[in-house]
Structure 1
């Protein structure tokens, strides 16, 4: 936990970058998907570099190897965006559409299976149906779907960034709560 507390600022930087990315996507909704993809590429590279840095410093909730893998994949994705921005935009849109359909179907199946337990399965079924609808609309109407996608990505990035910023301060607080001023264990 002390390793996480020492590298709290890595999460803070990643969170601030995500928030800035999200705000840019929302402030300029008329920007093209190509421009958004390029901004995403820059974000992916920065996020990957900081993930690698965090892995090198011992930060991360899982194994270091997964954090290193995440950082490398993120950097490679960012580079691919700059090399093939037009193709990346279309592929990204179609990938998100396919992801929405598949996850929606899985949520519907989970909701149906939950009916046997008496849980609130309708939430899974409704969210799954909305996800499938979103994916199908992206496939059928990619241009308006791209603008909607800009808004969704922007909102998601802001929420994700806020979560990382909050996490960074919580992780920072772990080190101060675990030890007193003289380095002795602190009684809370």
Structure 2
């Protein structure tokens, strides 16, 4: 690995995400569950979708807060997680405080959340690639979020059912990308631990 020195920095973004790969996996699984529920829920109303999204955004934000706390020794590493957490909780609270939101308004709330979250993920992906070569899962999730947000802003879909399907499809794709990233991070953590143990004098 060409950046071995940086990757062993205790507070590096790779170390933080690698040690907390299970949080990334939980966020991915949560997104997939949210997407599947939105697809298969019989007679899903816009009100139920708003509640589902609010719950998902808040829980996802809490997971991001946990990552920020674990990375709190290094502000440069912690702030992307902290910003993601703040955005998620705010989006969730807006959804709960505005349960009778219209389909179009819900689109713009989710679009803003996806755009800013995607930008933060892209920043984190750039930092991560400096430490873990050929890593692009996080960048893909960021690109997916940004594209999804832009589609909602410039091509808002009419009708509550179309909104449900669009959001559900995005959630599933986003969740799969996060799970793939979690698997990659877990493998890195395992190989990194093995390398440290093999170089530790007995």
| 1:30 aligned onto 2:43 | yes
Match of 1:84 in 2: 98
TM-score, normalised via structure 1 length = 0.67
Give deviations 1:135-161, integer Å, cap 9, x for gaps: 26x3xxx3xx32112111111111111
Cα distance between partner residues in 2 of 1:174 and 1:97 = 33
For structure 1, the 5+ residue unaligned runs are: 99-126
Structure 2: distance between partners of 1:4 and 1:46: 18
Note the C-alpha offset of 1:58: 2.3
The alignment partner of 1:86 has SS state of: coil
- Residue 73 of structure 1 corresponds to 87
Q: CA deviation at 1:50?
A: 0.2
CA deviations over 1:64-87 (Å, ceiling 9, x no partner)? 112202201210111111111113
- Contact map agreement 2:57 2:92 (CA 8 A) in 1: yes
How far apart, in 2, do the equivalents of 1:87 and 1:37 lie? 8
Question: Are 1:175 and 2:189 matched, yes or no?
Answer: yes
Q: 1:158 aligns with which of 172, 175, 180?
A: 172
Q: Please, what TM-score do these two structures have when normalized by structure 2? A: 0.63
Secondary structure class of the residue paired with 2:44? coil
Q: Higher relative CO (CA 8 A, sep ≥ 6), structure 1 or 2?
A: 1
Deviates more, 1:172-181 or 1:12-21: 172-181
RMSD of the TM alignment (CA)?
2.9
State the match for 1:115 in structure 2. Answer: none
Q: 1:58 aligns with which of 71, 77, 82?
A: 71
SS for the counterpart of 1:85 is coil
| Distance in 1 between residues matched to 2:191 and 2:28, nearest whole Å | 23
| Structure 2: runs of 5+ lacking an equivalent | 1-13, 113-146
What number of residue pairs does the alignment pair up?
A: 146
Residues 164/40 of structure 1: CA separation in 2 closer, same or farther (3 Å cut): same
CA shift at 1:6, angstroms? 1.0
- 1:3 shift after superposition: 2.6
In structure 1, how many angstroms separate the alpha carbons of the residues matched to 2:111 and 2:174?
20
Structure index of larger Rg: 1
**Superposed displacement of residue 181, structure 1:** 6.4
